[in-house]
């Protein structure tokens, strides 16, 4: 009798659990999305009807594959290639339209005032939970929220202050100068050379971040970054199948390799960090690389707040911040430089103006911090490059509770998308020449160029403004100044214009350029 009762109880429990899970799945996959769809439509926010589980993902993948299938015409109107589905959706449903990322609706915002509010209200509009694929690349400061974000930002800030950047400038110079020497060695007797500069610029940025992040251990750091580069390519490839439910759990060759890379990177970083921690505890002074500064700042925080055990970063936190050093430091700078070289190849008058400025400030001498800070034309050019070819195409935020945003009332569970590339190319915000290369628009600075609106945000905005933007900008100025000192350059006939997203906005077929030696 007792056995029968136990069996019945077990069956009832199993049925109850099954019903609860079935209800949760039904609510997540259908009832909640349909409720959000109704609420958004009542706000005048239109989009395609929600489709079970996949939403618009299959269409997005199809449009992306089609756009990437061939190069585009030589033009800076890149949105139809790199952001085609969102552009089509806006053309069909209006500027504030809805796209379904699986069962999650994402509202596209293009109004600078609304974008400003989202950036400033960091506790109301939080970063979405990191995609499991993105977690394999890096999380760290860029993904944290609340108290953890505040703690990490406070600890990491000293690594990027002005004085620390000045200390790192010789490292920038050495890596950039090594690249110049390498290119000079490739010149033919007539002083010219045709090459794909993209892998060289990737290696340059990797070298710089390896040296600045890990100092004398940069060779090991460079190996980590090579693994992370492979990881980014695999993540982009696997993301194409994200619309297939359960795909990421299958033991495919790509998935196995991604997990192996993740393990290798974690093990290498853990070993490097443990060595540094032991050296610090033994009384050695911290090194002036990013890892050393980070560990020193973390120790100071612990000393100053001894009674708060949650104040310090643990080993896993430090590992994730090191991975983020790579991703932000290497990817952002390399793509900024490659598009700068492509654009200056196409606009030789601006290339000449930039070179004249560099030679006027530095002559044939090594660029220094004060001189780099006073390069007005080079700064205008880099701003315009970031406007036309932002490294990241869009940022997204999650609404965890019903929120009022302008005239909209956004229900909890919705995401908002801040489409950097769309806003940067918007003729209503930038004028009729918005899709053309015109650095002159920044001649009086960003504030004047944007009329005070939030229409230029390649590194984000507000309290969560990218902590490494000055690092990236200083490195780009150093590299571009040395390149202009030593070479003139133009596009090769082999160049195929094909901006494409591989984590960041990259040249799909490389950047084939003809270099010519400049005699100073």
Going by the DSSP 8-state scheme, the letter that residue 160 receives in this structure is G
> Tell me, what's the pLDDT at 4?
65
> Tell me, what's the pLDDT at 291?
80
> Stretch 240-258: mean pLDDT, rounded?
71
Share of the chain above pLDDT 90, in %: 58
Q: Binning pLDDT at 50, 70 and 90, where does residue 281 land?
A: confident
> Tell me, what's the pLDDT at 315?
73
> Tell me, what's the pLDDT at 231?
84
Phi-psi region of 402 (alpha: psi -120 to 50; beta: other; left: phi over 0): beta
pLDDT for 120 beyond 80: yes
State pLDDT tens for residues 106-119.
999 999 999 999 99
CB 322 within 8 A of CB 213: yes
CB 434 within 8 A of CB 78: no
Range with the poorest average pLDDT among 6-10, 234-238, 387-391: 6-10
Going by the DSSP 8-state scheme, the letter that residue 508 receives in this structure is T
State pLDDT tens for residues 441-474.
999 999 999 999 999 999 999 999 888 899 999 9
Q: Binning pLDDT at 50, 70 and 90, where does residue 142 land?
A: confident
- How far is Cα 306 from Cα 309, in angstroms, rounded to an integer? 7
CB 514 within 8 A of CB 491: yes
Q: Binning pLDDT at 50, 70 and 90, where does residue 240 land?
A: low
Q: Which residue has the higher pLDDT, 420 or 3?
A: 420
**Among the listed residues 98, 68, 96, the one whose alpha carbon sits nearest the alpha carbon of residue 83:** 68
> Tell me, what's the pLDDT at 335?
96
Within 10 angstroms of residue 100's Cβ, the number of other Cβ atoms is 23
pLDDT for 243 beyond 60: no
For the four alpha carbons of 387, 393, 399 and 402, in that order, the dihedral sign comes to positive
Q: What residues are paired with 491 via a beta bridge?
A: 513
pTM comes to 0.90
pLDDT for 127 beyond 70: yes
The pair of three-digit structure tokens given for residue 239, joined into one six-digit string: 């993301």
Give every CB contact of residue 403 below 8 A, 6+ residues apart in sequence. Answer: 124, 125, 409, 410, 412
Going by the DSSP 8-state scheme, the letter that residue 161 receives in this structure is S
- How far is Cα 124 from Cα 117, in angstroms, rounded to an integer? 10
Q: Binning pLDDT at 50, 70 and 90, where does residue 245 land?
A: low
pLDDT for 308 beyond 70: no
> Tell me, what's the pLDDT at 327?
72
CB 419 within 8 A of CB 97: no
pLDDT for 296 beyond 90: no
pLDDT for 369 beyond 70: yes
pLDDT for 216 beyond 90: no
Any idea what the Cα angle at residue 13 is, between residues 8 and 14, rounded to 5°? 100
Number of helices (H) and strands (E) in the chain: give both, helices first: 22, 12
Going by the DSSP 8-state scheme, the letter that residue 400 receives in this structure is -
Q: What residues are paired with 507 via a beta bridge?
A: 499
Q: Which residue has the higher pLDDT, 392 or 274?
A: 392
Q: Binning pLDDT at 50, 70 and 90, where does residue 132 land?
A: low
pLDDT for 160 beyond 90: no
> Tell me, what's the pLDDT at 290?
80
Pairing of β 395-399 and β 125-126: antiparallel
**Among the listed residues 35, 118, 31, the one whose alpha carbon sits nearest the alpha carbon of residue 411:** 35
Q: Residue 118 is inside which H or E element, if any?
A: helix 112-120
State pLDDT tens for residues 377-388.
999 999 999 999
Q: Binning pLDDT at 50, 70 and 90, where does residue 218 land?
A: low
> Tell me, what's the pLDDT at 305?
67
> Stretch 155-179: mean pLDDT, rounded?
88
Q: Mean pLDDT score of the chain, rounded to an integer?
A: 89
- How far is Cα 170 from Cα 212, in angstroms, rounded to an integer? 10
> Tell me, what's the pLDDT at 72?
96
State pLDDT tens for residues 43-53.
899 999 999 98
Share of the chain above pLDDT 70, in %: 92
pLDDT for 123 beyond 70: yes
Rg (CA), the chain: 25
């Amino acid at each position: 009798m007792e056995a029968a009762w136990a069996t019945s109880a077990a069956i009832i429990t199993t049925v109850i659990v099954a019903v609860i899970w079935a209800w949760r799945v039904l609510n997540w996959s259908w009832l909640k999305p349909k409720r959000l769809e109704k609420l958004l439509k009542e706000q005048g926010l239109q989009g395609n009807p929600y489709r079970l589980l996949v939403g618009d993902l299959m269409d997005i993948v199809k449009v992306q594959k089609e756009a990437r299938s061939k190069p585009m015409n030589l033009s800076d109107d890149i949105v139809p290639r790199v952001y085609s589905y969102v552009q089509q959706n806006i053309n069909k449903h209006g500027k504030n339209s809805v796209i379904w990322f699986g069962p999650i609706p994402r509202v596209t915002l293009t109004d600078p005032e609304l974008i400003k509010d989202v950036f400033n209200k960091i506790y109301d509009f939080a970063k979405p939970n990191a995609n499991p694929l993105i977690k394999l690349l890096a999380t760290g400061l860029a993904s944290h929220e609340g108290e953890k974000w505040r703690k990490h930002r406070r600890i990491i800030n000293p690594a990027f202050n002005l004085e620390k950047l000045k200390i790192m400038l010789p490292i920038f110079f050495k890596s950039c100068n090594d690249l110049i020497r390498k290119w000079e060695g490739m010149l033919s007797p007539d002083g010219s050379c045709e090459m794909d500069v993209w892998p060289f610029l990737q290696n340059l940025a990797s070298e710089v971040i390896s040296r600045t992040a890990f100092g004398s251990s940069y060779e090991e750091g460079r190996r980590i970054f090579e693994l992370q580069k492979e990881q980014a390519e695999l993540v982009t490839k696997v993301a194409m199948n994200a619309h297939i439910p359960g795909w990421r759990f299958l033991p495919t060759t790509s998935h196995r390799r991604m997990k192996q890379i993740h393990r290798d990177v974690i093990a290498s970083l853990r070993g490097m960090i443990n060595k540094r921690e032991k050296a610090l505890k033994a009384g050695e002074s911290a090194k002036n690389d990013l890892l050393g500064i980070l560990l020193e700042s973390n120790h100071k925080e612990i000393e100053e707040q001894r009674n708060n055990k949650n104040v310090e970063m643990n080993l896993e936190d430090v590992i994730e911040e090191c991975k983020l050093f790579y991703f932000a430091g290497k990817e952002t700078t390399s793509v900024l430089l490659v598009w700068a070289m492509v654009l200056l190849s196409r606009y030789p008058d601006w290339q000449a103006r930039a070179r004249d400025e560099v030679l006027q400030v530095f002559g044939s001498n090594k660029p220094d911090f004060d001189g780099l800070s006073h390069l007005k034309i080079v700064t205008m050019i880099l701003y315009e490059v970031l406007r036309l070819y932002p490294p990241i195409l869009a940022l997204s935020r999650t609404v965890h509770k019903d929120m009022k945003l302008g005239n909209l009332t956004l229900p909890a569970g919705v995401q908002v998308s801040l489409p950097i590339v769309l806003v940067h190319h918007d003729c209503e915000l930038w004028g009729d020449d918005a899709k053309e290369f015109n650095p002159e628009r920044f001649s009086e600075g960003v504030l004047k160029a944007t009329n005070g609106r939030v229409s230029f945000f390649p590194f984000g905005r507000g309290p969560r403004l990218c902590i490494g933007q000055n690092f990236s900008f200083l490195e780009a100025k150093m590299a571009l100044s040395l390149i202009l000192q030593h070479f003139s350059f133009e596009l090769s006939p082999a160049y195929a214009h094909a901006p494409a997203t591989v984590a960041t906005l990259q040249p799909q077929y490389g950047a084939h350029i003809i270099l010519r030696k400049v005699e100073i």
